[in-house]
Each structure stands twice: as structure tokens, then as C-alpha cells.
Amino acid sequence: MKFSSDNVELFLAVLDHGSFSAAARALGRVPSAVSMGIANMEAELGLVLFERSRRDVRPTASGEALAPYARMIAEQLAQLRVHAQELSQGLESRLSIAVTEDISPASYVPAISELATRYPLLDVEVLSAPQDDAMSMLRSERVSLCLAFGGLQVSPKESFQFVANERLIATVAPTHPSLTLRKGPIYLEDLVNVRQVLVANRDLPLSDTRPMVGANHWRTDSLGVALAMVEAGIGWGNFPQSVVEPLIATKRLVRLDFRNTRNELRLPVHVVWPKDRPLRKAAQALVGLLSPMR
């Protein structure tokens, strides 16, 4: 037997209402049509799905065994109908987002999770990359939205919405010479001649040099690799506070103490999109969910 949406709806209506007449009223049909529909299903399946009495019907063991699958199919069919309607109303089938590698997932994952609840069949793609790579994906139309650190200049070709502030903390391995050769706080300028590990594209010039202090620096496009390099004593790095705090707590990294400034670079996180490409429905919804002022 090939199940149809009508079979599933009929089976669940009888199961939930406990009688053919009650199921018929819920479905807007006559009781005889419901009774005959169930009898035809049972004949084609070779199973008795309900035990009949004068007052009601009760599911057999076979009927109870099929019930969870029928409910799952009914839920998926309902989602399919809703998604088809959303597509007809302008919802995109896929939403691609680029995220700067060293932005904490706590800034955006809750919003994406809520978007998934709102549009369960929407295909969401999240691409993580260094900032200049992430912005390049936006400008080449590879993605619809980009989460990036706010720059010192505002582009007239792009719209943005503030999302959060990210704190970058200068950290180093406990055994690094910059600590072992000195006692107490150091000056920020002392780091100029200490190798810095950056999360950046190796080919593109840095569009925002605020996190860069060291004259000598090594690059990697992975935040995880950068953290491992600093932990190994290769250099020091400016990383998100939420990411390095567990490593500091377990003494795998040390937060540097400066004499002349606070060890905290606060950068705004923006969601950015081109002005010449109107946002579609899911992208608009995500921008709204990311806004702290919603």
C-alpha cells in the first residue's frame, strides 16, 4: 500500500477522536466515508488497526505501533506546506552567512538557532574565515550577510546593524620569554618586538590593523590554530575574551598586564550587507534577531 497524506490524516483523526463519527465531524466528512476509508486501509495493509464497538473504536497493537510514524509524517507534511507557502511569499531556499573567524559564536548562534525554529526547512550555511576573506565573500555575492568587526570607516555601498561588542585580550603562554624575563606589568609597546600571531589571510593586506601591535607577526586563517601556536610559546595574540577565559583559568594562557593601558581592545561586531542587493525574508529576519535592540 502507498500511504498518502489523506491516509495519514484519516488514521490520526480516528486515533485522536476515538470514533468514526467524531473523526468525520473533525474532517468535515460523513461517518460512513471515514469507516470505509479505514476498512480499505486495513484491507490493503493486511492489518486490523482499530477494534470496533458500538460507542467507540480503539487502536490495536498494530495501530499503536504505526501511530508515532504517522504523527511524524503529518508533522513533516505540515512543515512542507508551510515552507512552500513561505517560498511563494519570498523566503529564500538557502541563506549563506560569512562570519569573521575570531568573533565569538555566542554573538550569533542563538539568533541562528531561533531562525531555524522559525523556518525549520530553511537551508542555512555558515562560513567562517578571516575578516578580509569574509567581507570578500559578501562583496562577490557568495553570501548574503557577513558578521564582521566594525571598521574605522563606513562604506557608502554597505548597510550594517550593530550586534555586540567583542573584547580582544592580549594573551601569551606562561613560559614565554616576554613573561619569564620580566617581573610585574609590562608596557604595551614592549610587545612591538615580540612575535604576534594573527588570524588573517596570508595574501590580503589587513583592512583593519587595530588588533596588530607586533612588528613581526605570523598569520593563520584558523582561530584554533592561532590559539595552539600561542599556547606553544610561538608568540602572543589578541583573541576574544570568551574564547581565552577557559584557557586562562586552566593556566594554559596568561592575560598580559600592562602598565600604561588596559588589556582590552573593544571592537563592535556588525552584520553587514550590500545596499544594492535587497535582503530576502530569512536574511531580514536574521538581521532583526541579531539586533540587541529588538
pLDDT above 90 for 151: no
For residues 91-117, average pLDDT? 91
pLDDT above 60 for 137: yes
Domains of the chain in start order, with CATH, are 5-88 (1.10.10.10), 94-164+269-290 (3.40.190.10), 167-265 (3.40.190.290)
- Give the CA angle between residues 171, 267, 185 to the nearest 5°: 30
C-alpha cell at 112: 541562528
pTM of the model: 0.66
List the single range of 15-24, 58-67, 85-94, 258-267 with lowest mean pLDDT: 85-94
pLDDT above 80 for 172: yes
For 86-104, b/e burial (b = at least 16 CB within 10 A) is beeeebbeebbbbbbbbbb
Residues 6+ apart with CB under 8 A from 39: none
pLDDT for the residue numbered 248: 94
Q: How confident is the model at residue 182 (pLDDT cuts 50, 70, 90)?
A: low
